[in-house]
Amino acid sequence: DRVLIGNKVSEGHVNFTIAYNMLTGIRVAVSRCSGIMKPLTPRDFRLTKKLAFDFHGNELTPSSQYAFKFKDYCPEVFRELRALFGLDPADYLMSLTSKYILSELNSPGKSGSFFYFSRDYKYIIKTIHHAEHQHLRRTLKEYYSHVKENPNTLISQFYGLHRVKMPISFKSKIKHRKIYFLVMNNLFPPHLEVHTTFDLKGSTWGRYTKVNDSPQAQEGDAHRPVLKDLNWLQEQRSIQFGPLKKKKFLQQLEKDVDLLARLNIMDYSLLLGIHDVERGNDLIDEHNMLTMYSPDQNELQEVKRKSMAEQQARQKSTMAVQHFFQQDEGGIRASDQFNNDLNKIYYIGIIDCLTNYSCVKKLETFWRGLSHDLKVISAVPPRDYGDRFYEFMASSVNRIPSKRYKDDPNAVE
């Protein structure tokens, strides 16, 4: 498990064709979906649109380098979701398709999903399994209502659900493969370095990341591991929020977890990135930008210039409706018991929330339940999972340090 820092996917890369097709499909489908927004109807939650691409192009689709089919799910619903999340339609298209370069995560997770970043690092494309895609479609109505009623939801922001169908050669045979994917928010900022990352589930079973102390590991994000529940407990970490932020955070978390339990979802995590203001940002300038985007100095300058311009734009648009947990540089500042700012910015969200309990987990609960305490394992029914998740996070806000660590200022986050 590594922090998401990718390799550039450009021509010649094994997955270039897949990435190219995904982006071409999004560009055409999303730009097609314009005109006045009408109130959504039940039909919009079922609607799909298909596009066929080939080298010649036709009146519906422009010519494309490769032949493939593209399917867009519930375009009007996602368009409205993007608006609810405050995305500008032109910006969205630009970010995803201005140049056909994405970066791909080095090591995909256990699930076999692939992650791609948009060039400006704002969006993540995640390939998902058919069952996850199905579950999202089935529950899209509830998700949509929840977002509408909870503008500050911590649950992943979904911006688009699509499918690409394309020929892929496998053992010298050509097979048509269907690849489902989601566009969602990158919780982490393009312009600030995240120094520490935790992926927390509230379970302890297998939830430890071995930390590598080698000099290479200290060097930069590319080698920095994502830490888990046992690391969190061992290091006596806590989320430092004063009473105001704590209340907002736990209230929202409770509502979000309740939705996920109702939708029969489990196995999600609280992703928490910590930017240490005092440590600043030197690595991201020199090291990360290079690996993330390109070794080309001109491009690097362009990326830096853009992120400066965005920062200024952000400062100007403080009048716009702000997501509570993205109010400071795209995250939220830690605060003390008097609600005064501390020198840390948290990037928080609930991720990986499309695993339906009934699909995979029942068997796992059975087998593991035989030999382990149900409290510590990760596969428990959604309601139990949610309660345990909430309790863990609630007890992690302003944890009172145990005696042993009390005098060591470094021991407490």
Binding site for ligand ATP (CB under 6 A): 1, 4, 109-111, 113, 124, 156, 184-188, 197, 199, 226, 271, 351-352
With CB under 5 to 8 Å by kind, the binding choice for 156 among ligand ATP, Ca ion, none is: ligand ATP
Q: Least distance in Å: CB of 230 to ligand ATP? A: 15
228 Cβ contact list (under 8 Å, min separation 6)? 1, 198, 199, 200, 201, 207, 208, 209
3-state SS assignment for residue 214: coil
Contact flag: residue 111 with Ca ion (CB under 5 A): yes
Q: Least distance in Å: CB of 126 to ligand ATP? A: 6
Closest Cα to residue 383, out of 229, 199, 259? 259
234 Cβ contact list (under 8 Å, min separation 6)? none
Residue nearest ligand ATP (C-beta atom): 109
Q: Least distance in Å: CB of 352 to Ca ion? A: 4
Nearer to ligand ATP by Cβ, of 110 and 404: the residue is: 110
Side-chain half-sphere exposure of 257, counting CA atoms within 13 A: 25
Q: What is the helix, strand, coil percentage profile of the chain, to 5?
A: 40, 25, 35
Nearer to ligand ATP by Cβ, of 38 and 110: the residue is: 110
The pair phi, psi for residue 185, each rounded to 5°, is -75, 140
With CB under 5 to 8 Å by kind, the binding choice for 104 among ligand ATP, Ca ion, none is: none
Segment near Ca ion (CB under 5 A); pick from 110-118, 318-326, 366-374, 400-408: 110-118
Nearer to ligand ATP by Cβ, of 155 and 239: the residue is: 155
Identify the helix (H) or strand (E) that includes residue 300. Answer: helix 297-316
Nearer to ligand ATP by Cβ, of 53 and 78: the residue is: 78
Distance from C-alpha of 123 to C-alpha of 107, rounded to nearest angstrom: 18
Nearer to ligand ATP by Cβ, of 242 and 331: the residue is: 331
Contacts of Ca ion in 342-401 (CB under 5 A): 352
Residue nearest Ca ion (C-beta atom): 352
Sheet with strand 269-276: strands edge to edge? 226-227, 196-200, 269-276, 341-351, 332-335
Q: Least distance in Å: CB of 242 to ligand ATP? A: 25
Taking every pair of Cα atoms in the chain, the longest distance, rounded to a whole number of angstroms, is 72
Q: Least distance in Å: CB of 109 to Ca ion? A: 6
Q: Least distance in Å: CB of 350 to ligand ATP? A: 9
Nearer to ligand ATP by Cβ, of 246 and 368: the residue is: 368
Q: Look up residue 379 and give its two tokens.
A: 């596969």
Closest Cα to residue 195, out of 288, 128, 269? 288
Nearer to ligand ATP by Cβ, of 28 and 351: the residue is: 351
Q: Least distance in Å: CB of 268 to Ca ion? A: 7
With CB under 5 to 8 Å by kind, the binding choice for 264 among Ca ion, ligand ATP, none is: none
The pair phi, psi for residue 394, each rounded to 5°, is -60, -40
Contact flag: residue 229 with Ca ion (CB under 5 A): no
Q: Least distance in Å: CB of 285 to ligand ATP? A: 20
Which DSSP string corresponds to 253-267?
Answer: HHHHHHHHHHTTB--
Nearer to ligand ATP by Cβ, of 68 and 159: the residue is: 159
Distance from C-alpha of 366 to C-alpha of 379, rounded to nearest angstrom: 9
- Under the rule (CB under 5 A), what is the footprint of Ca ion? 111, 352
